[in-house]
Structure 1
Amino acid sequence: MSKLRIGIIGAGGIATGAHIPNYKKQGDKAEIVAIADVALERAKEVAEKHDIPQFFGSYQEMLDKVELDAVSICVPNKFHAEAAITALEAGCHVLCEKPPAMTVEEAEQMQNAAEKAGKFLTYGFHYRYQPNVSAAKRFIDGGEFGDIYSARVQAIRRRGIPGWGVFTNKELQGGGPLIDIGIHMLDTALFLMGYPEPEVVLGKTHQRIGNRQGVGLLGEWDWENYTVEDMTVGMIIFKNGASLVLETAFAANVENRDTMQVSLMGNKGGADIFPLKMYQEKHDTLIDVTPVFLPEVGGHEREIQMFVDSCLNGAQPLSTPQQGTIIQKIVEALYKSAETGKAVQF
């Protein structure tokens, strides 16, 4: 395979803002040959704008009529599982946007479909591809932090409810900030911790601001039809004894407009990841370590580059179906715990 033939499923903002432009950066390694969207006119518009040869009103038609090596899935969360499984069964490698699915059962079905097809399935957790995360991972793998036993995850906006798309529609998305922005920081922490299996999950959700009219820093939202939480808090105990505390919100009365942070604590060192700053004790001295140089490459660009390279050379992508199932278990457990008022034990 000399050049990867790419199909895009979904012609919305994540496709046009992240996937399409970054595939185009791959030069001779990849070519977008088709795009599909249930809104045929939208598919046509995007195809014409980005010089994509073919467009379709359904991904099934695209898969039937076009020879593809891989697809990017850029549709609402409700449709991830069906689209991914169909593409895998059609013989395509799959890069699916996060979260993996709506339920653990769907994530497991996607994992099984990838194993049966012998194709790669990877998820769009683009923060783990950022240079500061890669640098922290090198320090962790080198033993600089020792045993990481605790983490804190924050993805909090002051008034950052999306005023576009279906982000506030629970039926199509499955949830609010937890599965939109919180899951990015959660995945980053889990990735750096070695993706431990959860043992106990306790969660609480709040809908206090999103369902009433107010100031929006990301545009006006449809507060009268707001069906997701605007804040989730939780704690996770892992089978290896480590713990993680999570806070994520579309809207909260806090100082900063936007906070995206992962903090790790180990017995030999710790770190804040965004931006990267590490904390250690060496030679009877407490020290802070900050890099003076990191490559300037975006997470989406690196994610697409590594997906293309994996498809061409057969190397396992950085994000695996197994990890997708684990994070889906945690997300589902957080919502279940919030609904029942009880911790979920695995």
Structure 2
Amino acid sequence: MNVVRVGIIGAGAIARDVHIPGYLKKGNKVEIVAVADVALERAEEVAKTFAIPHAFGSYQEMLKEVELDAVSVCVPNKFHAEATIAALKAGCHVLCEKPPAMTVEEAESMVKAANDSGKFLTYGFHYRFTPEVEIAKTFIDADELGEIYSARVHAIRRRGIPGWGVFTNKELQGGGPLIDIGVHMLDTALYLMGYPEPEVVLGKTHQKIGTKKGVGLLGDWDYENYTVEDMAVGMVTFKNGATLTLESAFAANVEKDETMQVALMGDKGGADIFPLKIFQEKHNTLVDITPVYAPKIDGHQHEISQFVESCLSGKPPLSTPEQGLIIQKIINAIYESAETGKAIEF
């Protein structure tokens, strides 16, 4: 394969602003063949804007009518699993936007479909591809942090409820900030920790702000039809003895407009990832290590570039279906614990 023939499932903002431009930047290594959306006129508009030859009103029709090597799944969470599985069965590699799915059972089906098809399935965890995470990973691989036994995860906005899309619709998204932005920082932490297996999960969610009219830093949201949590708090213990605490919010009364942060603690050192700073004890003194240079890399673009290179080379992508299943288990366990008031054991 010298050129990856790509199809886009879903013609919304993430497809228009991230996936399609990302593929186009790969030049003659990629040909975007088709785009599909349940709103055919939207697919046709995107196809016209980006000079994509074919537009379809369903991904089923697209997979049947045109020959593709790879697909980006850019639809609401509710439809991730069915679109991904259909594309894998059609012989396509798949880059599915985060989160993997709505349920653990769906994520398991996606793992099976990927294994059965022999095609790559990877997820849109683009923070893995930022320079901060890549540099931190080199420190961790060199044993500079030692055994990472604890992590703190924050994905918190002051008033960052999206005023567009379906982000506040639980039926279509499965949840709010935890499954939308918290999943990014959770994946980042798990990736740097080596993706340990969860053992016990305890969670609590809050809905205190989103159902009322208020100041919106990301536009006015539909507070009358707001069905997701404002905030999710969780704690995870892992089978290797490590622990992780998490806070994720679309709206919280905090100082900063947004905090996206992962903090790691190991027995030889610790790290804050955004921006990157390493904390160690050396030569009988405490030191902080701050990189003075990091390449300016767009995580989204780097992610798509690596997906294309995986399709061309046969080298597996960085994010695997099995890792997606682990993160889905943790997310759903936090929600289940919040609903039942009980810790969830695996």
Q: TM-score range by the shorter chain?
A: over 0.9
- For 1:307, what is the secondary structure of its paired residue? helix
Matches within 5 A, 1:1-346: 1-346=1-346
Cα deviation code 1:24-77 (max 9, x no counterpart): 111111111100000000000011001111100000100000000000000000
Identical columns (%): 74
Query: Aligned partners of 2:332, 2:179: CA distance in 1, in Å?
Result: 10
Q: Which amino acid is the alignment partner of residue 28 of structure 2?
A: D
Of 288-297 and 171-180, the range deviating more from structure 2: 288-297
Secondary structure class of the residue paired with 1:44: helix
Structure 1 residue runs of 4 or more that deviate by more than 2 Å after TM superposition: none
Please, what TM-score do these two structures have when normalized by structure 2? 1.00
The alpha-carbon deviation at position 233 of structure 1 amounts to 0.3
> How far apart in 2 are the matches of 1:13 and 1:224?
24
- Counterparts of 1:19 and 1:300, CA distance in 2: 8
Count residues in correspondence.
346
Structure 2 Cα separation of the partners of residues 28 and 275 of structure 1: 35
Taking the aligned partners of 2:280 and 2:128, their CA distance within structure 1 comes to: 23
TM-superposition CA deviations, 1:176-210 (whole Å, max 9, x none)? 00000000000000000000000000000000000
Q: How many angstroms does 1:134 deviate by?
A: 0.4
**Per-residue deviation, residues 221-249 of structure 1 (Å, max 9, x unmatched):** 00000000010001000000000000000
Shift of residue 297, structure 1, vs aligned partner: 1.0
Offset from partner CA, 1:138-195 (integer Å, 9 cap, x none): 0000000000000000000000000000000000000000000000000000000000
Q: Which runs of 5+ in 2 are unaligned?
A: none
Q: Deviations over 1:74-107 (max 9, x none)?
A: 0000000000000000000000000000000000
Counterpart secondary structure, 1:300: helix
Give the match's secondary structure for 2:279: strand
Structure 1 residue 295: deviation in Å? Answer: 1.0
Q: What is the rounded CA distance, in whole Å, between the counterparts of 1:67 and 1:253 in structure 2?
A: 50
Partner of 2:318, secondary structure, is coil
TM-score normalised by length of structure 1: 1.00
